[in-house]
Amino acid sequence: MRDAWKNLWPSGRVPDQQKLIDYLEGKLSPEEKIEMERILTDSPFVEEALEGLSQIKDRKRIPHITDKLNEQLRDRLRKSKARPKHSFPLPEGALVNILTVLVIILTLIAYMIYHMYTQR
């Protein structure tokens, strides 16, 4: 599961929040700007983060907003972990097999009962 998070950023290059803001405000050197554009091309996740940052007018509020978002994310994760897990997780397709066997058993029982009453 942890390895899946590695796919969010291209080859481990993770721009920090300040670098994204500097990119938006045109404060990066030409080399840094090229590198940032490569990262944006390689990672839709970073591109969306930059798009979200660009919509915030007051850049001084960004740390407060990100802290609040992180807190909400931690709360949601805590709540999702608190949900009760299934006590008997079934493999895929097992429910169909169980229902098929149950129908066959009920059919056999019905046949036996029918056969018993017709033999008298």
Answer whether residue 12 shows pLDDT above 90.
no
Q: Is 52 exposed, middle or buried (0-12, 13-18, 19+ CB in 10 A)?
A: middle
- Is 0.85 surpassed by the pTM of this model? no
Which residue's entry shows tokens 């700007």? 33
Give pLDDT, residue 106: 97
pLDDT band at 109, cuts 50/70/90?
A: very high
What is each CA distance from 19 to 1, 9, 22, 30, 105, in whole angstroms?
Answer: 28, 15, 5, 13, 67
Give pLDDT, residue 1: 45
Most confident of 23-27, 61-65, 70-74, 100-104: 100-104
